[in-house]
Structure 1
């Protein structure tokens, strides 16, 4: 756990979140600035800076995060029409909170994956 990490504080219960799914190792909660009708963040409870660090240090936990993201999609009714699971990594990748997290987004057509330049 990182003392100054927003998501670690959510895991610790210091900051409230709208939790939609939880396992012993993962937590999923609604994004406070949703970009689609369904926008849920899935995190490991243990602090890892990004998905690359998680994959190297704990590949089994990375698999648990992906399984939790799939379960969130199922619970949120996204399987029939599809959804995206997005990991932003680093500044150029758009990562804003440096605790690995998957965005599960859907519930409406999402358009192109990247904006035209």
Structure 2
């Protein structure tokens, strides 16, 4: 079977740039939906590799809730309530960092691990 990939990423973007709840007008989210619909047919799944820009404590502490909201918006917009999402968990960060940075990185990694509770992730 042929496989097609639709790339709509923007390097360094925080989750808030993609989540309609956090970004009025949501241009990145709307572009993602637009590109998916232009391709025709239905998506068989999505790969999501993001999170580095959300490792500050204030963003990290809400990552799980915000990611869940983003996925709900995505599935609703595509009319695919069970769209599978492959979430690539951030790797360990091995460069020297202060305690707060290390804690933020760990919080996002754990939120990504817990995302499976949203179903089909």
TM-score by length of 2: 0.35
Higher strand share: 1
TM-score by length of 1: 0.36
Whichever of the two has the greater Rg, that structure is 2
